[in-house]
């Protein structure tokens, strides 16, 4: 019996060491997966934020171009890309609201241009 006790102690110590290694490995994998998912969600959030900022910036540019009587040709590429991205990534509510805003912006810009009478043509 005295010879078996040290053998059982070594066996249990080895088993405990193996168990600690497995638990540590499992927790490390779980931590890495969690960190990866957080980074992925953060990147997704930042991409969406940048996308919506670019939509608002394009609307603002369109208003400024209209007021300055500039041609919209500089904006066409940006507007086309943002419109395509909105159709792909945006929800139905966002797409509907953007369509509504675009229609209102078109109506406003048309009226704004019609209402403009150059100073020299009045004289």
Q: What is the pLDDT of residue 1?
A: 65
* DSSP one-letter code for 70: -
Over the stretch 71-123, which tens digit does the pLDDT of each residue have? 888 788 888 888 888 888 888 998 898 889 888 888 888 887 787 655 434 44
CA-to-CA separations, 100 to 17, 95, 96, 106, 122, in angstroms, rounded: 65, 9, 6, 10, 35
As for how many domains the chain has, the answer is: 1
**Domain interval for residue 54:** 4-115
Q: Is residue 120 part of a domain?
A: no
Q: Is residue 21 part of a domain?
A: yes
Q: How far apart are CA 123 and CA 92, in angstroms?
A: 50
Q: Is residue 53 part of a domain?
A: yes
Q: Is residue 121 part of a domain?
A: no
CA pseudo-torsion sign 31, 35, 36, 41? positive
Over the stretch 12-56, which tens digit does the pLDDT of each residue have? 999 999 999 999 999 999 999 999 999 999 999 999 899 889 888
């Amino acid at each position: 019996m005295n010879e078996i006790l040290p053998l059982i102690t070594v066996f249990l110590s080895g088993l405990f060491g193996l168990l600690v290694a497995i638990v540590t490995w499992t927790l490390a994998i779980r931590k890495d997966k969690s960190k990866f998912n957080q980074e992925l969600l953060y990147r997704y959030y930042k991409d969406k934020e940048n996308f919506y900022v670019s939509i608002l910036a394009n609307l603002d540019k369109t208003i400024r171009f209209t007021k300055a009587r500039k041609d919209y040709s500089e904006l066409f590429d940006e507007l086309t890309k943002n419109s395509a991205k909105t159709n792909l990534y945006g929800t139905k509510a966002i797409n509907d609201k953007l369509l509504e805003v675009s229609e209102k912006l078109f109506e406003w810009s048309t009226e704004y241009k019609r209402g403009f009478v150059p100073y020299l043509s009045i004289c």
